[in-house]
Amino acid sequence: MKSKSAPVTWEYDNGTIYGVELKPYRALHKKTGNIYNVIRDDVIDCTNSRDGTRVVLYTNGTQVFARDYFEFLDKFDVNI
């Protein structure tokens, strides 16, 4: 059974989360039509097999997602 996710919350102060400046903007998923809030689009994945890969961190308000930067640009419209 999948547990219900709690809303995403962070220590937020004047445009930063834990001292990291936010670059928020909205993005539309081309297939589903869902709108997401992009948290950062310059995150570096440090997983051994993907080390150095640029990823986008985005949220639907309940969950946070990470997706390869170029895949994100293919699947989302960021000009909304």
Opening angle at CA 41, ends 38 and 45, nearest 5: 120
Written as one letter, the residue type at 13 is: D
Write down the pLDDT at residue 38. 92
Q: With 0-12 CB in 10 A as exposed, 13-18 as middle and 19+ as buried, what is 7?
A: exposed
Q: Which residue range(s) make up the domain with 28? A: 12-77
Residue 6 lies in a domain: no
The reply to whether 45 falls in a domain is yes
Asked, for residue 4, whether it belongs to a domain, the answer is: no
**Whole-model pTM?**
0.72
Domain presence at residue 53? yes
Sequence-ordered strand ranges (E) for the chain:
12-13, 16-17, 20-21, 25-29, 35-45, 53-59, 64-68, 76-77
Reading the chain (80 residues) residue by residue, the pLDDT tens digits are 455 555 555 555 555 555 566 667 899 999 999 999 998 888 898 888 878 899 999 989 889 999 999 999 999 999 77
Q: How many domains does the chain fold into?
A: 1
Token digits of residue 44: 């570096």
* Any domain includes 3: no
In a domain, 5, yes or no: no
Burial of residue 27 (CB within 10 Å: 0-12, 13-18, 19+) is buried
